[in-house]
Amino acid sequence: MFVSKNLDINEKGNLTIGGVDTIALAKEYGTPLYVMDENLIRENCRSFKDSIEKFYNSEGLVCYASKAFCCKEICRIMKDEGIGLDVVSGGELFTAINVDFPTEKICFHGNNKTEDELTLALSYGVGRIIVDNIYELERLDKLAKKLHKKASVMFRVKPGIDAHTHNFIMTGQIDSKFGFALETGEAFEAVKRAITLENIIVKGLHCHIGSQIFDIDPFELAAKVMLEFIAKISKELSYNISELNLGGGFGIKYLPEHDPVHYETYMERVSIVVKQTCKELDIKQPFILFEPGRSIVGPAGITLYTVGAVKEIPNVRTYISVDGGMSDNPRYALYQSEYDVEIANKAFEEKAMKVTVAGKCCESGDLIGENLPIQNAETGDILAVLATGAYNYSMSSNYNRILKPAVAMVKNGKSKIIVKRETLDDIIRNDI
């Protein structure tokens, strides 16, 4: 019925998440409000972790891509579930450090890490620094020498794979700001240089072909291409690459008609390619890492808004305005992301209207979606946007000096705040 299995309708006709009434949540905590379901997050973590154990004989690590949604409570959950962490900034790394996350299980990404960020990573013993360019490699070597450390690195490689997704979230092709190109020889030369550096330990290779991918074929092809590169390094440089990070990008269900492949199927299919290719190339199977983010937290979250003005333009469209918008969900403005929406207090009713959901920011493009089927919407209703657990809170801003919403977590029929709602004092806190 709904895009996420943790959603339902109670006896009052209200939408529930994790068994908790969304109208009660809106009343208790206010709107806009992000709501996350802890049980589903943990279930998704275990699905990936179990797949590593099943298909790779536990010779692998799942690293949650914290850019999808990062806060101290999420890092605590990942720590508790035995999941690694993928961070892309000093802020994400600092958040993990503050909950005593095991740094040996952290992968530090980013195409332009600062000296301060690299120093922080080295100082806390981050397990894998994913090197994006030759400038970063040389800089890291110098910093490691200065700090009397050895930097364990992986190289981000562009395998030249078409991921069949939005251009803005394709990252595996040659024309990308990320990584070393494989087909030009750039990646090979980088590895060749790195193994000569005194303060660098080359642990592995990394690739990430894109996000919100429904097809399995691109993941299979990426695995094959990367293993062939490992074989080339072994043959021509006599160096053993012991780890391979195949990234993330697994698609989730945003609309009822979406039919993503179950995560375990992704993992099984790719594992078959990994095993067969290693055998064909006569190389040792590397330690395998994956970096799911959206697929862990996306389905577990919703966003609640209060409906304000309802504006019907005859023979054109009907706008319903909500008390949030692109400041808490910029994804439609960025890449026309699709969502399913519900009037949470009328979830049992038929979706008889088609509307454009507009935010409150002073931008014509501040929309949640257009031509969306929805129940009859009236001022004061609670609107729920589904599957917003990923890339909503993490991409939020204070545009128009709008306050960032709170984040509530539900579990076993109860709720708590894990990120406080911003206040007006927060908005001016750094002003001088």
Q: What's the Rg (C-alpha) of the chain? A: 23
pLDDT at position 400 is 98
In this prediction, residues 91-97 reach a mean pLDDT of 98
pLDDT at position 174 is 65
Phi, psi of 5 (to 5 degrees): -75, -10
**Between residues 249 and 235, which one has the greater pLDDT?**
235
pLDDT at position 17 is 98
Place of tokens 């209703």: 381
The model's pLDDT over 4-62, given as tens digits with 9 standing for 90+, comes to 999 999 999 999 999 999 999 999 999 999 999 999 999 999 999 999 999 999 999 99
pLDDT at position 172 is 45
pLDDT at position 169 is 36
pTM: 0.94
How confident is residue 175, by pLDDT bands cut at 50, 70 and 90?
Answer: low
Pair 325, 333: CB distance under 8 Å: no
CATH code for residues 38-297 = 3.20.20.10
pLDDT at position 170 is 41
pLDDT at position 167 is 41
| E-strand stretches of 60-159 | 60-65, 84-87, 106-108, 128-131, 151-158
The model's pLDDT over 407-419, given as tens digits with 9 standing for 90+, comes to 999 999 999 999 9
Mean model confidence pLDDT for the chain: 94
Pair 327, 402: CB distance under 8 Å: yes
pLDDT at position 399 is 97
Dig out the tokens for 338 from the structure.
């699709």
CATH superfamily, with its number, for domain 7-30+300-427 = Lyase, Ornithine Decarboxylase; Chain A, domain 1 (2.40.37.10)
Distance CA 390, CA 295 (A): 8
The model's pLDDT over 253-272, given as tens digits with 9 standing for 90+, comes to 999 999 888 888 989 999 99
Per-domain boundaries in the chain: 7-30+300-427, 38-297
User: What's the maximum distance between 2 C-alpha atoms anywhere in the chain?
Assistant: 72
Distance CA 209, CA 216 (A): 12
Q: Say yes or no to pLDDT of 164 above 80.
A: no
In this prediction, residues 66-92 reach a mean pLDDT of 98
Give catalytic residue positions.
362
In this prediction, residues 302-319 reach a mean pLDDT of 96
Q: Say yes or no to pLDDT of 166 above 90.
A: no
Distance CA 118, CA 267 (A): 32
The model's pLDDT over 319-364, given as tens digits with 9 standing for 90+, comes to 999 999 999 999 999 989 999 999 999 999 999 999 999 999 999 9
For the chain, percent of residues with pLDDT exceeding 90: 89
